Structure 1
Amino acid sequence: MATTSESQLTQGGNADPDSRSKQGEIFDLLSNHRRRYAVHYCKREGEPVTLGDLAEHVAAWELEKEVEEITSAERKRVYTSLQQTHLPTLERADIIEFDDRTIELTDEAAELDVYLDVVPSDSIPWALYYLGLTVVGAVVMGGLWLEVVPTETVPELGWATLVFALFAISAVVHVVQSRRMRLGEMERPP
């Protein structure tokens, strides 16, 4: 599994080909919602799970129902798909160990969070947020340098502290939200 250090840019300005290949493989694995849901459920449980329980929860999330409302036909359709396609795919990628009825995450599964930056539909990406915050900070600092920002009521150090505080608070909120949005951290998968 590629780590951050493995995906550093090479002298030519392109990512390491092996790293790109591994990233592509991981993105392909996670592109299917049933595989993401399976990993989410296993992470949330924190111990080996049965295929039956996994199928019930995945079907419930897919159909936006409670587990108790899932019919046997809905459960069986997901069970078969997981058993024949998705779990063997995750096992070949060394994300899980699957022994016919029991699924357990491997150590490699912990590294998947690096590839998931879940952005809720009512939110903006953090990179864009920080860019906007940087623009605000640059305007304030530029205004101080050009002496157009009032320093009678708020001294220069106060403005600098305000900009720093905005970044610090944003970083704390970002860390908390990112941890909450990881696979396995919420009741329903992101």
Structure 2
Amino acid sequence: MVTVDTVFDLLSNERRRYALYYLHEQSGPVSIDELVETVRTWENDPPTQNALEEVDALKVELQHHHLPKTAEVEFVQYQPEQGVIQVEGTSPEIDALVTIARVIEQPEDG
């Protein structure tokens, strides 16, 4: 069972929140590349000369830190070998917390 503390810990990092918001809205597996692009867009940072390096760094950070951490809860299925992740089987309470956080934060497409 997932505790409120666990959900708040998952939501404590902006990149992890953005990933969870997006995954929560999808009805199936999402590719890591699609997730990286969405998180990057929602961060709304203007592109720099090192945009490709920044995308690569974001992908590495998500793949090796944030996504494994989210996969510690039973409603996140992360399959690094296939390069996909999805949220499935969340409780109404978890849905409510993620939805409320998303409404408050309102990440927007750049």
Alignment TM-score, normalising by the size of structure 1? 0.46
1:88 aligns with 2:8: no
User: CA RMSD for the aligned pairs?
Assistant: 3.0
Counterpart residue number, 2:103:
181
Q: What residue in structure 2 maps to residue 53 of structure 1?
A: 34
Contact 1:113 1:182 in 2 (8 A): no
1:33-83 per-residue CA deviation (whole Å, 9 max, x = no partner) reads 1111111111233221100110111112113459xxx92212111110110
Higher relative contact order (CA 8 A, sep 6+): 2
The structure richer in strand per residue is 2
Matches of 2:31 and 2:93 in 1, distance apart?
23
SS at 1:104's partner residue?
Answer: strand
- The structure having more radius of gyration, on CA atoms, is 1
Judging by fraction of residues, say which structure has more helix: 1
Distance 1:46 1:33 in 2: 22
Structure 2 unaligned runs (5+)? none
Aligned residues: 104
Contact 2:70 2:76 (C-alpha < 8 Å) held by counterparts? yes
How far apart are residue 114 of structure 1 and its match?
2.9
State the match for 1:39 in structure 2: 20
